[in-house]
């Protein structure tokens, strides 16, 4: 009887082992299925897109506060805080700029992104337009209230206007000397009204984007997060297609519009913007969970494509670290190509559109 019971136990043990071998295990990589792709998309929204919007909004409020502090006590120390806050704001923008859809770009005429980064519209550097506007407002007599700044055109506000105000003195000389910048604010009280007014407007636009993603999108009763994940986009496009195209268009813009040489010319931190953009793209693709876009591509048999994407990102980081503009341009274009071909192919996504950015 004892032998029979032992044999029975051995048989059960063997059956358990065999059944364990035939089923999926917790450590098995996720398969490329519709459900897993939707899960990766949800993670992308919750761990990449919304955090990028929230971080930009937070930094916009931080910069707004820094302008008020600076104008209440105009000195070198507060100017350094102001300039540092602008640089952080610029970097946070390049994280978010990868996702130029939804609340950031939901109006054909008055899209929020245009009032944040005028360069993105046509690739035109409006720095002289901004300088002229600031000089005119300093000597003008109009009331610089909230309504006034809301009515300014996109090419006179946003990051560029705040950079000009924070990093150079007003007037024909456009001095970047700290003493000259401080003197310009001390001698022209309206300049502080201009600085705080434009900063407040940018913070309001940043908050609109976050509110749209998390609470209510335009005149709907739903957040854009809900609409996006339910695949109910304004233009009827597919949600994953929209996400991939948005990143691709940003990469295309970075090269086509010569952003490295035309953006952040006074602060000299354009390289920081590229670094932030690539950091964000890597977070988006790699994810912080077991289900990621690159992981699903590998599971679907596209390991070579994944290796190519990772190698390109690594090369871009090398170009940024060594300040190699030519290497950067080449590999930003390569990553752009990956978002047109390898990534959608590996995720079985049919893009079916003409890729371009700008005009």
Output the pLDDT for position 351: 62
List the chain domain ranges. Answer: 34-346
Output the pLDDT for position 30: 82
Output the pLDDT for position 237: 87
Output the pLDDT for position 289: 74
Output the pLDDT for position 4: 43
CA–CA separation, 241 and 233 (whole Å): 11
CA–CA separation, 345 and 98 (whole Å): 20
Q: How far apart are the first and last CA of the chain?
A: 86
CA–CA separation, 183 and 278 (whole Å): 38
Tens of pLDDT, residue by residue, the chain (359 residues): 434 444 444 444 444 444 444 444 445 668 889 999 999 999 999 999 999 999 999 999 999 999 999 999 999 999 999 999 999 999 999 999 999 999 999 998 999 999 999 999 999 999 999 999 999 999 999 999 999 999 999 999 999 999 999 999 987 678 999 999 999 999 999 999 999 999 999 999 999 999 999 999 998 999 999 999 999 998 888 999 999 999 999 999 999 999 999 999 999 999 999 999 999 999 999 987 779 999 999 999 999 999 999 999 999 999 999 999 999 999 999 999 999 999 999 998 866 443 344 43
**Which of these, 127, 115, 132, 215, lies nearest to 163 by C-alpha position?**
127
Output the pLDDT for position 324: 98
Which fold would CATH assign to domain 34-346?
A middle domain of Talin 1 (1.20.1420)
Structural contact between residues 158 and 118, judged by C-beta atoms closer than 8 angstroms:
yes
**Which of these, 196, 241, 209, 247, lies nearest to 111 by C-alpha position?**
209
**Which of these, 299, 330, 225, lies nearest to 36 by C-alpha position?**
299
């Amino acid at each position: 009887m004892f032998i029979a019971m032992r044999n029975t136990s051995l048989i059960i043990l063997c059956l358990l082992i065999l059944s364990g071998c035939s089923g999926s295990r917790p450590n098995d990589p996720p398969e490329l299925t519709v459900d897993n792709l939707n899960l990766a998309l949800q993670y992308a929204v919750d761990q990449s897109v919304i955090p990028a919007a929230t971080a930009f909004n937070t930094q916009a409020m931080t910069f707004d506060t820094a302008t008020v502090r600076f104008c209440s006590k105009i000195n070198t120390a507060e100017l350094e805080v102001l300039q540092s806050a602008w640089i952080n704001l610029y970097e946070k923008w390049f994280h978010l700029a990868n996702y130029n859809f939804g609340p950031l770009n939901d109006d054909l005429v008055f899209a929020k992104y245009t009032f944040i980064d005028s360069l993105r519209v046509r690739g035109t550097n409006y720095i002289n337009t901004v300088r002229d506007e600031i000089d005119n407002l300093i000597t003008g007599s109009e009331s610089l209230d909230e309504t006034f700044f809301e009515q300014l055109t996109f090419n006179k506000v946003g990051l560029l206007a705040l950079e000009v105000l924070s990093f150079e003195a007003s007037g024909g000389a456009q001095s970047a000397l700290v003493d000259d910048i401080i003197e310009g604010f001390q001698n022209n009280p309206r300049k502080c009204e201009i600085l705080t007014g434009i900063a407040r407007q940018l913070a309001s636009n940043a908050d609109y984007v976050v509110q749209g993603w998390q609470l209510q999108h335009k005149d709907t009763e739903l957040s854009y997060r809900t609409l996006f994940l339910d695949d109910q986009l304004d233009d009827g496009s597919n949600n994953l297609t929209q996400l991939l195209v948005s990143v691709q268009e940003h990469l295309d813009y970075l090269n086509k519009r010569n952003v490295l040489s035309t953006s952040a010319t006074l602060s000299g931190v354009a390289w920081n913007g590229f670094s932030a953009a690539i950091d964000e793209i890597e977070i988006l693709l790699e994810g912080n969970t077991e289900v990621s876009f690159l992981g699903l591509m590998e599971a679907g048999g596209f390991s070579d494509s994944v290796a190519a994407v990772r190698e390109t990102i690594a090369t871009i980081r090398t170009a940024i670290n060594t300040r190699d503009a030519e290497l950067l341009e080449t590999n930003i274009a390569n990553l752009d190509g990956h978002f047109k071909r390898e990534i959608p192919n590996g995720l079985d996504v049919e893009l079916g559109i003409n890729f371009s950015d700008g005009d």
